[in-house]
Structure 1
Amino acid sequence: MNMTSDIIPFSNDVDHLQRLFDDQKGAARAAPFPSLEDRLASLKKLETLLDEYQDRFTQAISDDFGQRSFFETRLTEFLVVRLALTHARKHLKSWMKTRTVHTHLLFKPGKSSILPQPLGVVGIIAPWNFPLQLILCPLVTALAAGNRAILKPSELTPRFADALNDAITRHFAADEVAVVRGEADIAQAMTNLPFDHIVFTGSTAVGRKVAQAAAANLTPVTLELGGKSPAILDASADVTRALRRIIKGKLTNCGQICIAPDYLLVPEDKVETVAAQLLDIAREMYPEWDGNPDATAVINTSHLARLQGLVQDAKDKGATVQTAQSDHASADNRMMPLTVITGATSEMAVMQDEIFGPVLPIIGVKSHDAALAYVQDRARPLALYWFGSDAARRQDVLTKVHAGGVTINDTLLHILQDNLPFGGVGDSGTGNYHGKAGFERLSHMKAIYRQVKYTATDLLGAPVTPFVKRMLKLTEAIGRR
């Protein structure tokens, strides 16, 4: 894998995408099993790329958002990718090894093993909310597994896409890793190509379309979607500590996170006090919202209008709405403060759609069982957060409620654990790409059985003589052990 110093200009032409894909498929056929050294070299190039382009990436993302906290970008984008890189480099040698597995007595002395084999070419389609993390973390996994990759950043972060293209083309040949940019038509064209795997992060509605398009080529997909991720405040929780952590998870990136707490379930006699405390904590963390360098803007005016529409719909239908700051977001600054909604009902749009912003409905429930039932009655979420100290109730949540991942007594942090698989379940997605689980997802775990010269199985077969029948009975007896 060689590095090129030439900058390849962007093209959003579908024919260009096809040529990139064909070149990568040809390169994968020519070198179908990159060595450990080659894969480590690719990961090193990605690390060098991050170092060289950190400032440009950070500024580009902030410019795309209108305002993006530099601290949040370092924490939620660069740190996450660096952790993934370090973890992959540390464990790659063991991940790549052929794994010997148990062979049943009937088939010994033959031997069984599993060989992790690169799939070939992986398509990665990323969203706008974490444009660096959600395109480079899948790339870490793809490169570790020995694959080539074509990256499609979101059209809503064009400055970052420009910077990413420059960085990738300076450090990787186009038949290793390439960037394509364009509108929905380019993403659609990617899903129509016979990739060996597609990783898509985005909405459930678009995820369904990606899966349908990929199915025409029997292309496997990893879908990282979203949904309404609940936070449950149990009666046994340390309320103040829990609310601080919930607010941190809700207001990071202005709530534009697929695993952000979408709504909060609390004992019904605590709804009003919890709402007041949340607003106080938000004001403490962000004394000002507009112009605060620690805060992040809503990505664009249409998304802001959608969020404001959710709030207005709830208000029109009888909910109580309170904000942490008196100044409201405008189309000019798009800085939206925490908005807490009490009295929300299932008829309100805010309780039907993923919010993806700094709006937090608080729902009162009569009991622990009622909280579980509330979540169970809805689509399976990407994340679930439970706060409390009661071990029995905690175990109840873990065993009875489906969610892609869970953090206990905090928010968001399960995504940073590279020994944990990250992914959804049901409407919130399928598959994962973190750590070893992701390596195996982007590899073909090839089953191998190696036969020996002399084996009892040679005695089974036509013509079926009395001796063969006796051997079959013996084999069946052994098979029951």
Structure 2
Amino acid sequence: MNMLVTPDVPDMPAEFKSTYERQQRAYRSKRNPSYEERRQDLRQLHRLIAENHDALISAVSQDYGGRASFETKLAELLGAQDAALDAIKHLRGWMKPSKRSVDLTQYPLAKAWTFPQPVGVVGIVVPWNFPIAMAFQPMICAFAAGNRVMVKMSENSGTLARLLKQLAARYFPEDKLAFFEDGGGRGPAFTQLPFDHLFFTGSPATGKAVMANAARNLTPVTLELGGKSPCIVGPDYSMKKAAERIMWAKMFNAGQICTNVDYLMLPEGRIDEFIHEAQLIAGKRYPDILNGDYTAIIDQRQYDRIQATLADALARGATAINLCVGQSGDPARRIFPPHAVLGVTESMEIMQREIFGPLLPIMTYSSKEEVVEYIGDRHRPLALYVYSDDKALQDYYLNNTISGGVGINESVLQGGLHSLPFGGTGHSGMGHYHGLEGFLTFSKLRPVFKQSPWRSLDMLMPPYSGSAGKMLNFMLKRKS
């Protein structure tokens, strides 16, 4: 069990330490909140979001330097509110003990069951790309499980972090929920706190450092990382429909989504067809990418990184095609139009790391076996997308690849379903959240065995040469 005292870290902010100790004391005074209290906490989270739409939308847009309000409403506010209501709907069932069977040596009167208990104080580290959703979605799961929560926001979400600190104080005591700003190297200190569970969303490189910090306290972690998520268009599938759905995902939030299509694999000879359809769709949906519907790149560092990634590819022989024909974006506002990148090779930066922006490398393949081999030779992605109406082809890719989640004839949307667990595998993360799986992530599933006044095990007591031996031989024969 994690101790109440925080570790001796020289740069540990006083507010981290004091809040952690306050939440630990509160948890120990009420280790297993009732259904009614948990339900009320979830309702308060729902109210916090529902009653402050405008302020939340404005704060995120300020942090981005221009974020489409529609995208904040759809991807963050609607999803978080729905997740809270879904948790309330299922909470009583999630909390129920689950009866388990007993073996022959305890049959027929002994009983066994499991029941979920809160782990205690949960730490959540939030990324900048969907800062409301990535704060509230795991928090909903943690509150449903009966925990207390400390949330550290991203350094790129300063305006939102300050707003959430103010709002949280109106809806919750600090010993139940507390938000913190980042900056000044505070992130590593936060992950060194001896939380009862630590939830992190971010890059694989930072995830390794977070896991190392957590290991010092034997704190269990859930890591939601990312990676290069492939998208395969089958030879049978409508290229027009594929382009419509892939371009929606690639241009939403200017491609700054951890589960986005990171590279596209098309059947040989069909690149021109895809480019034609993609340009028609981009022009129709975003006739002016400067009108506020298209989101800016989060900061200058990320904008420069995307530019450098494209420049590296071009210098190494690739070709770039602007999919918003005639629109060059606006560097001053960090508006970067989507580009398809052709002729990519493994030596290029664009194929070495997650893009996290509106660049779309396109490759071709001649066989499904070639696709599977290529994907299997690389780190396991957070998502995999297959566009095909051929059930046999769908099953082939499902059975011969591994990834966090899968979308068939759709991109990104699988990550928003509360009924599906969300989580990576290998380089793209570990653990799950959303819905029941999220509730279990932040719970200790406690096994209980209750012995009866009379036990069958008494028939197996020494000396073994008599009836005990005969009884054991009988049991073995029953199981042979």
Considering the TM-score relative to the shorter chain, is it more than 0.5? yes
Farther-moved stretch of structure 1 (452-461 vs 226-235)? 452-461
Name the structure 2 match of 1:181: 181
Letter of the 1:267 partner, please give it: P
Q: Do the aligned residues in 2 keep the contact of 1:301 with 1:331 (CA within 8 Å)?
A: no
User: Please, what is the CA RMSD of the aligned residues?
Assistant: 1.4
Contact 1:289-1:325 within 8 A present in 2 as well: no
Deviates more, 1:14-23 or 1:98-107: 98-107
Partner AA of 2:61 in structure 1: S
Could you say which residue in structure 1 is the equivalent of 2:161? 161
What is the DSSP-based 3-state SS (H/G/I as helix, E as strand, rest coil) of the residue aligned with 2:269?
helix
Distance 1:350 1:223, change over 3 A: same
Q: Quick one: distance in 1 between partners of 2:62 and 2:380?
A: 34
Q: CA deviation at 1:465?
A: 4.8
Q: Deviations over 1:33-78 (max 9, x none)?
A: 0000000100111111112221101001001101100000000001
1:84-138, CA deviations, whole angstroms, 9 ceiling, x for partnerless residues? 1111010000000011122223322211111111101100000000010000111
CA distance in 1, matches of 2:437, 2:178: 24
Q: 1:184 and 1:397 mapped to 2: Cα distance? A: 45
* AA aligned opposite 1:72: E
What residue number does 1:80 align with?
79
Corresponding residue for 2:121? Answer: 121
Does the 8 A contact of 1:381 with 1:428 survive in 2? yes
Please report how far the alpha carbon of residue 459 of structure 1 lies from its aligned counterpart in structure 2 after TM superposition.
3.1
- Cα distance in 2 between the residues matched to 1:21 and 1:396: 48
Q: Deviations over 1:350-401 (max 9, x none)?
A: 0111000000011011122212222111111101111011110100111111
Post-superposition Cα deviations, 1:210-259, rounded to whole Å, max 9, x if no partner, equal 11111111111111110011111100112111110000011100000000
Contact 1:69 1:293 in 2 (8 A): yes
Distance in 1 (CA, whole Å) between partners of 2:67 and 2:112 is 52
- What SS is found at the alignment partner of 1:116? strand
Question: C-alpha displacement at 1:186, in angstroms?
Answer: 2.2
Q: Paired residue for 2:24?
A: 25
Structure 2 equivalent of residue 238 of structure 1: 238
Residues 298 and 156 from structure 1, CA distance in 2 versus in 1: closer, same or farther, beyond 3 angstroms? Answer: same
* 1:436-475 → structure 2 map (5 Å cutoff): 436-462=436-462, 464-475=464-475
Q: Is the 8 A contact 1:279 1:340 kept in 2?
A: no
Per-residue deviation at 1:433? 1.3
SS of alignment partner, residue 321 of structure 1: strand
CA distance in 2, matches of 1:100, 1:215: 33
| Partner residue, 1:39 | 38
Cα displacement string for residues 412-463 of structure 1 (whole angstroms, at most 9, x for unaligned residues): 1111211111100110011111000110111001111111011111233455
Query: Any conservation in 1 of the 2:239–2:277 contact (CA below 8 Å)?
Result: no
SS state at 1:277 partner: helix
**CA contact 1:288–1:325 (8 Å) conserved in 2:** no
Asked if structure 1 preserves the Cα contact closer than 8 Å seen for 2:297 and 2:336, the reply is: yes
| Stretches of structure 1 lacking an aligned partner (at least 5 in a row) | 1-11
The answer on 1:212 being equivalent to 2:230 is no
Give the partner amino acid of 1:244: E
Q: Which structure 2 segments of 5+ residues have no match?
A: 1-10
1:177/1:143 CA distance change after superposition, 3 Å: same
Counterpart AA for 1:98: P
* Alpha carbons 1:318, 1:343 under 8 Å: kept: yes
Which residue does 1:313 correspond to in 2?
A: 312
The amino acid of 1:297's aligned partner reads A
Structure 1 equivalent of residue 102 of structure 2: 103
Q: Secondary structure at the match of 1:422?
A: coil
Partner amino acid for 1:227? G
Aligned position for 2:227: 227
SS at match of 1:340: strand
CA deviations on 1:174-226 (whole Å, 9 max, x unpaired) are: 11011122226322112111111011000011011111111111111111110
Secondary structure (helix, strand or coil) at the match of 1:318 reads coil
Which residue in 2 is equivalent to 1:265? Answer: 265
SS at the partner of 2:154? coil
1: CA distance, partners of 2:375 / 2:82? 32
Match of 1:379, SS state, is coil
1:6 alignment partner in structure 2: none
Paired residue for 2:8? none
Shift of the alpha carbon at 1:329?
Answer: 4.2
AA aligned to 2:430 is: T
Counterpart of 1:426, as a letter, is G
- Aligned partner of 2:193 in structure 1 is 193
* Deviation by residue 1:304-347 (Cα, 9 ceiling, x = unmatched): 01001111111111111111244434541100011110111111
Q: Kindly tell me: are residues 369 and 399 of structure 1, through their superposed partners in 2, closer, same or farther at Cα, counting changes over 3 Å? A: same
Q: Which letter does structure 2 place at the counterpart of 1:262?
A: D
* Residue identity in the other structure for 1:261: V
Q: Secondary structure at the match of 1:157?
A: helix
Q: Among the aligned pairs, what percent are the same residue? A: 38
Partner residue, 2:294: 295
Alignment of 1:279-428 (within 5 A): 279-290=279-290, 292-323=291-322, 324-428=324-428
SS of 1:46's equivalent?
helix
- Structure 1 contact 204–226 (Cα < 8 Å) conserved: yes
Q: What amino acid is the match of 1:180?
A: F
Aligned AA (2:387): F
For 1:230 and 1:160, how far apart are their aligned partners in 2?
A: 32
Q: CA deviation at 1:406?
A: 0.7
Aligned partners of 2:63 and 2:298 also within 8 Å: yes
Amino acid corresponding to residue 246 of structure 1 in structure 2: I
1:4 alignment counterpart? none
1:38 partner letter: E
